[in-house]
Amino acid sequence: MRYTDGKVHDITIAYIGGGSRGWAWNLMTDLAKEDSISGTVKLYDIDYDAAHDNEIIGNSLSMRQDVKGKWLYKACETLEESLKGADFVIISILPGTFDEMESDVHTPEKYGIYQSVGDTVGPGGIVRALRTIPMFVDIANAIKEYCPDAWVINYTNPMTLCVRTLYEVFPQIKAFGCCHEVFGTQKLLSKALQDVEGINDVPREDIKINVLGINHFTWIDNARYKDIDLMHVYKQFVNKYYETGFISDANDNWMNNSFVSAERVKFDLFLRYGIIAAAGDRHLAEFVPGYWYLKDPETVREWMFGLTTVSWRKEDLKRRLERSKRLKIGEEKFELKETGEEGVRQIKALLGLGDLVTNVNIPNYGQIEGIPYGAVVETNALFSGNKLKPVLSGKLPDNVNSLVLRQVYNQETTLKAALKKDYDLAFSAFVNDPLVTISLKDAKKLFKEMLENTKKYLNGLELKVLYL
């Protein structure tokens, strides 16, 4: 890398999952809008053609006069080639295909278990983890061999176990996981400020919060805007909209978009525990007993959010593939829209181009009390010249921490099961999940069927028949 006049040149970014038609395009967008850094992005994907398409799209973008950030995009045929010489590694992969995800999400429905996302916890999240962990073992070993000093940014779910696996395999790795769910809660606090106090258009970055918890089950116990205590403001906001829900955009509400909600799960958790649940309702609902919010589709509708079907994801993939073709041949112009992501800002801060405090997923070094040392947690952290320092966040209330700890220990059990290829240990995590409220006999049948549907990715996890 070269530093000149407050800019950094010749940076090398390795992008694992570089054929992505989502996160990769977000990265391209944010790099294109930033003129203080430049270099090469090496795209690696098991689908080389997809990475090559992004090479063409990215280089076409860099040639435009309206683009500030000039980057060379290069598709790589091997993971080794992409990692050699990398200063930063970005991991954004789909573990398996949407066929496996369809089993994760929808097979449990045969037994009356409903999941609104199915990629972090619940039966779907656990099975997804069992096929993802072996992939991250390989990635961690490759990083250790080819670019041990690189900063590693993970976007893949299940976030906690992906980051945890990287550190388990390569303890000296400089890795962290990024998730934008907390950003959405900051935006909601900005809307609460407008609704209750009449203060308009406050950027989410100006909402100062203390974050603590685990990915997709994060909490805020302190929030301020200048000298205004937003915990008090939020309480008034919740009381006002608890029954009706809060819909800020009538053209994009939970009834026609399963990725949004009317925030009623957040509101309910706030009234139960007195602190702010800081993730989307679809994720939050999966961390607590299934009969609270996910008992059946009718219950889900009562709480005013949606179940994201994998059939929708498959149709969306078709649309993105078609868009990729248009972008590749220049039939469609690549629009530089706001992505809402912070990856490039984090890279800049690590390069010494200004400090940044934001939420990330890293091992617990004591930044959260009451959660085991080494477990991956989500808190604020300070990014500055080649350093990442967690911010001390305190302790969750005991009644919230008990919910979090159940998931922490279950995630640790899942990790051990995948690494040891231990079917029985994996099942013990599966049956202990709060969404698995069926009989032990049915749980064994369901687990066996779900593993059978994803066995090609399990890397030797024994598919023995449990006693039924």
Question: How many domains are there within the chain?
Answer: 1
Q: What is the pLDDT of residue 254?
A: 66
Q: Give the length of the chain.
A: 468
Report the C-alpha gap between 170 and 254 in whole angstroms.
Answer: 41
Please give the full DSSP string across 61-102, using - where no structure is assigned: HHTSTT----EEEEEESSHHHHHTT-SEEEE---SS-HHHHH
**Nearest residue to 128 (alpha-carbon basis) of 422, 364, 426:** 426
pLDDT tens-digit readout, 101-131:
999 999 999 999 999 999 999 999 999 999 9
Residue 355 lies in a domain: no
Let me know if residue 326 belongs to a domain.
no
pLDDT at position 466: 41
Q: Is residue 393 part of a domain?
A: no
pLDDT at 249: 77
Supply the pLDDT for residue 255: 63
Residues with a known catalytic role: 180
Specify the pLDDT at position 340: 87
Nearest-5° Cα angle at 170, 213 to 143? 110
Structure tokens at 60: 């076409």
Residue 393 tokens read as 């966040």
* Domain CATH number, residue 168: 3.90.1820.10
For 308-355, the three-class secondary structure string (H helix, E strand, C coil) is: CCHHHHHHHHHHHHHHHHHHHHCCCCCCCCCCCCCHHHHHHHHCCCCC
Percent of the chain at pLDDT > 70 equals: 97
In 3D, which of 80, 72, 16 has the Cα closest to residue 45? 16
CB-based contacts of 62, cutoff 8 Å, min separation 6: 32, 69, 70, 71, 72, 73
Residue spans of the chain under pLDDT 70 = 250-252, 254-256, 461-468
Q: Is residue 427 part of a domain?
A: no
Structural domain boundaries, residue 56: 2-180
Q: Which residues pair with 369 in a beta bridge?
A: 395
| Gap between the Cα atoms of 178 and 173, Å rounded | 16
Closest by CA position to 215, among listed 163, 275, 290, 272:
163
Q: Is 324 contained in some domain?
A: no
Residue 446 domain-assigned (yes or no):
no
On whether residue 273 sits in a domain, the answer given is no
pTM to 2 decimals?
0.95
226-238 tens-digit pLDDT? 999 999 999 999 9
| Nearest one of 120, 123, 108, 101 to 434, comparing CA atoms | 123
